[in-house]
Structure 1
Amino acid sequence: MGLYAAVIAICVYSFFPIYWMMISSVRPMERLFLDSSLVFWPPDFASYTSLFQQTNYLVNFMNSVLMAVGTIVVSLVLSAFIAYGATRLRFRGKTTLVASMLFAYMFPPLMLAIPMAAAFRWAGLTDSLWGLLIAHLAISLPLAVWLLWGFFKAMPFDLEEAAMVDGCSQFEAFVKVVLPLSAPGLITVGIFSFLLSWADYVFALILIMSDQQKTLPVALASLLGAHDLRWGEVLAGASLIALPLFVIFIFCYRYFVAGLSAGALKG
């Protein structure tokens, strides 16, 4: 009984700020700081209307979608090939090489973003979504390789040999045998890549300057001016940012948990 009470308390503690943000986003602006009720009805969507009319929210939303989709696709493709090569090819120091890919996670994102900004300026990728995509891959790809490495390492090579005996090349065996069996890991990698890209603020803040290229977190933060605090629009925008995360976890949380568990056991 005590365990259930603790779980419920932790869930309420974790979800309440999100619930308060969403319920506050549908309060009238004049009652935003005066009404502290936990249930508000009828909802007022004036903040959402103002958000779409007075900002480039839809453009920024599409920028975030493009970055998230690009990060997912490139991370899945590259990490699958890198992890497969690290488990099937024989060369010295491959375990150290895979482990060292997580070295970047020892540093705060700000320490990586500043030298990236200098490198992108030299390469002509300043204020470019292509440069931001590369930055997102720098933080998503190492983790993706590490997760898939655990899956591929534990997968018997006999399965691929049987496919090659039946006439498949090693690449065809990889596509037709290894990848389908690694579906939980691929889904987990896709979710992690989406989260890292969708919620990124530091890289987008330093690498993107123009309003038309900004992603949602940076564009939302720009609404908090020094003299004009547009809290209604901020809460509405933050609620819309959180909405895709809820949708993903509602439909994919089983695969996500299964992928993490399997990767931990196999790795």
Structure 2
Amino acid sequence: MNSHVERLPIDSRPQIPEREPIRPKSSLQHGSRVQDSTFWRLFKRLSGKVALYVTVLVICLYSFFPIYWMIISSLRPSERLFLDTSLVFWPPDLTSYISLFRQTNYVVNFLNSALMAVATITVSLMLSAFVAYGATRLRFRGKTMLVASMLFAYMFPPLMLAIPMAATFRTIGLTDTLWGLLIAHLAISLPLAVWLLWGFFKSMPFDLEEAAMVDGCSQFEAFIKVVLPLSAPGLITVAIFSFLLSWADYVFALILIMSDQRKTLPVALESLLGAHDLRWGEVLAGASLIALPLFLIFIFCYRYFVAGLSAGAVKG
């Protein structure tokens, strides 16, 4: 039996509808979106950096412009001090500096300030290192409160501390002496020095000292040979703070020192501003020389200063 297959004509076959090909999005449109997002991302990043740099620049100008103006004004002749307002003055005139050294006791006052600063640094480093080390390694009740209480002196303005200190020194005969001024400077610098070094010694493991003592060192030798070298950033920070507090002190030196031969630089500089004779040229020259050591210290020691300040405050 032969099978017969009926074939339909081609036109009568069911037609499958053709699907429209999926067209990709326009590469130009996609690329523009990517470029826009990248542009905005880059714009936000750059705008944040520009805003940060502009803010830092404004703060630096606000901080350093008075110092710059003081220096260039000290290099102008006294008769042109209030007439010339240019930001650059050339050639410099050293008349104010020459008059400062010839007509005042600036050299003697400079030596007094330098002696007080060196003595304050030396005594502060020695006493604060031993006190902070003892408060860290020795066990006794209330040592944390004891260290924290050392900062209570900074709750009061210097004038409030200087008046009773002057009355006490007058009783024991230390008024108008550099020894009394040194004690006053130590009363301000020593508490902060102990607090900073306490943070350093507290973060330092005791295993280093034990290893040194196993090798034959005593605890004092381990402190000198191991602990102090590792605490160099903290010691430099204490030295800088002690120098700043002593070198720029005005209140204690004004109240405790009366004779011209024992005055320090800030008080001696104030004496140039008389009631009728305002010697602004010498005042600006003296102030520039007072600020010069501070600039040199921060230029050469600012890394140690920042490292010591952050470690002493955070680790402690």
TM-superposition CA deviations, 1:23-77 (whole Å, max 9, x none): 0001011100010000000000000000000000000000000000000000000
Partner of residue 208, structure 2: 159
Counterparts of residues 2-151 of structure 1 (less than 5 Å): 2-151=51-200
| Shift, 1:262, TM fit | 1.5
Q: Deviations over 1:136-165 (max 9, x none)?
A: 000000000000000000111111011001
Structure 1 residue 261: Cα displacement = 1.6
Question: What letter matches 1:68 in structure 2?
Answer: A
Between the aligned partners of 2:162 and 2:55, the Cα distance in structure 1 is: 39
Say whether residues 1:221 and 2:270 are aligned partners.
Answer: yes
1:260 Cα deviation (Å)? 1.1
Question: Which protein has greater RCO, CA pairs closer than 8 Å, 6+ apart?
Answer: 1
Instruction: Say if 2:252 is the partner of 1:203.
Output: yes
Return the letter of the residue paired with 2:71: M
Secondary structure at 1:73's aligned position in 2? helix
3-state SS of 2:140 partner: coil
Normalised TM-score (structure 2): 0.84
Deviation at 1:266, TM superposition (A): 1.1
> Which range moves more in the overlay, 106-115 or 256-265?
256-265
Task: For 1:253 and 1:239, locate their aligned partners in 2 and report how far apart those are by CA, in whole Å.
Answer: 20
Deviation digits for residues 92-145 of structure 1 (CA, Å, limit 9, x no counterpart): 100000000000000000010011111111111110000000000000000000
5+ long unaligned stretches in structure 1: none
Q: Give, as a single letter, the amino acid of the residue that structure 1 aligns with 2:158.
A: P
Equivalent residue pairs, number: 267
Q: What's the offset of the Cα at 1:265?
A: 2.4
Unaligned 5+ segments in structure 2 are 1-49
Mapped to 2, the partners of 1:118 and 1:190 lie a distance apart of 29
Partner of 1:183: 232
Q: Confirm whether residue 212 of structure 1 aligns to residue 232 of structure 2.
A: no
- Secondary structure, in 3 states, of the residue corresponding to 1:144? helix
Letter in 2 for 1:13: Y
Which letter does structure 1 place at the counterpart of 2:250? Y
Structure 1 CA distance for aligned equivalents of residues 308 and 89 of structure 2: 39
RMSD over equivalenced CA pairs, Å:
0.5
Distance across 1 between alignment mates of 2:314 and 2:255: 38
| Shift in Å, 1:263 | 1.4
Q: Partner letter of residue 77 of structure 2?
A: P
Partner of 2:46: none
Identity, in percent, stands at 87
Task: Give the CA deviation at 1:234.
Answer: 0.1
SS at match of 1:126: coil
After superposition, what is the alpha-carbon deviation per residue over 1:231-262, rounded to whole angstroms, capped at 9, x for unaligned? 00000000000000011111111111111121
